[in-house]
Amino acid sequence: MTIISVSVPEKLLERVESFSKEQGFSNRSEIIRQALRTLISESKNINELSGEIAASITIIYEREATKGQISEIHQSYGDIISTFLHAHIDEEYCLEVIVVKGEAATIRKFVDAFRTNEQISQIKVSIMKTP
């Protein structure tokens, strides 16, 4: 097995350690391998779609995050956003649920903009292919 080095913020490492213990992972490598498998699987599913689709995208980010970058992503893809909900889920984090409808390729770019943004703590995409 190949060994790689990964840099993560201290808060994320603490969450990984806690989650790893709660879920019974034997070490950090196991949890990272599982996370990579999940990311690849989800990406494969969205990459295989074409035509018009609808999706919900849920993101979680720290309230201290630069909201300008997140707003910029929203504004860049305003034509596919049907609606969105913003909530403060606790003192530290915000949650947004974004409902989109449009060409799969455009939605894929929208999701990728969030996935590659280091301010996003979590992202979950649920896709519905429209008839």
Q: How far apart (Å, rounded) are the C-alpha atoms in residues 12 and 60?
A: 13
User: pLDDT tens, 62-111?
Assistant: 887 766 788 888 999 999 999 999 999 998 889 999 999 999 999 999 99
CATH number attached to the domain at 51-129: 3.30.70.1150
| 3-class SS string, the chain | CCCCCCCCCHHHHHHHHHHHHHHCCCCHHHHHHHHHHHHHHHHHHHHCCCCEEEEEEEEEEECCCCHHHHHHHHHHCCCCEEEEEEEECCCCEEEEEEEEEEEHHHHHHHHHHHHCCCCEEEEEEEEEECC
Domain boundaries, the chain: 10-42, 51-129
Q: pTM to 2 decimals?
A: 0.69
User: pLDDT tens, 4-15?
Assistant: 988 988 888 898
User: pLDDT tens, 25-63?
Assistant: 888 888 888 888 877 766 666 777 888 989 999 999 988
| pLDDT for 43 | 66
| pLDDT for 11 | 86
| pLDDT for 58 | 94
| pLDDT for 130 | 62
| pLDDT for 69 | 83
At position 19, the amino acid (one-letter code) is F
| pLDDT for 28 | 87
